[in-house]
Amino acid sequence: MPLDLKKISALVVEDLHPMRTLIASVLDSFGIGTILEASNGERAYDLFQKHNPDLVITDWLMEPVDGLELIRMIRRNPDSVNRLVPIIMMTGYSALQRVTLARDLGTTEFLTKPFTGRDLARRINLIINRPRDFVETDHFFGPNRRRKNGEGYNGPRRRDEETQVDSLYDPGKHNPWEIMIE
């Protein structure tokens, strides 16, 4: 049975108009109900605060506010309308240091350009079907950076239950990613 994504809203943040149009078109073909577009992080944050989208897809390099600063504003600003929103960083910068930096700022998924519709669909599928718990420490707020749950790992860095950071994701609360199946 196909997923019904009509109730999902996405914010696409990309400075190049043809790329922004392409991403929006791919999301539309997936059946995403509302697609908002912004050409930079400053405009994107205004739209984010006003419309509270269920998903943000952002480019890295933009002026006057880039994608990294947008992620900082969403994740760290106490006035952010939804600090838990899934964020996909979509960029041509794929060096490990850049991927790590984006992850450490709170990116949920990372996608390198050029991308295919299948690549984007996989990232959205991960967000829907394998949501990550959010963690907050003195130096980090965002999705758990560990993709694997580590069952069976008993090494020196394994956290015991007393030292684990509480999850901010509460599956009992309304989750916009609870998709209606036709």
CATH of the domain at 136: 3.40.50.2300
Q: Is residue 36 part of a domain?
A: yes
- Residue 159, amino acid: R
Whether 65 is covered by a domain: the verdict is yes
Residue 135 placed within a domain: yes
The answer to whether residue 166 sits within a structural domain is no
DSSP 133: P
18 inside domain: yes
**What is the domain range of residue 125?**
7-146
Tell me whether residue 151 is in a domain.
Answer: no
Instruction: Classify residue 95: in a domain, yes or no.
Output: yes
Long-range contacts of 176-179 (CB under 8 A, 24+ apart): 176/7, 176/8, 176/54, 177/8, 177/54, 177/86, 177/127, 177/128, 177/131, 179/3, 179/4, 179/5, 179/8, 179/128
CB atoms inside a 10 Å sphere around CB 142: 23
6, 1, 2, 50: which is closest to 176 by C-alpha? 6
In a domain, 142, yes or no: yes
Give the tokens for residue 1. 């049975």
Tell me the pLDDT of the chain (182 aa) as tens digits. Answer: 467 789 999 999 999 999 999 999 999 999 999 999 999 999 999 999 999 999 999 999 999 999 999 999 999 999 999 999 999 999 998 889 999 899 889 999 999 999 999 999 999 999 988 888 888 888 888 888 776 555 555 555 555 443 443 444 444 444 554 444 33
Give, to the nearest 10 degrees, the angle between helix 41-51 and helix 67-76: 30
Query: Domains in the chain: how many in total?
Result: 1
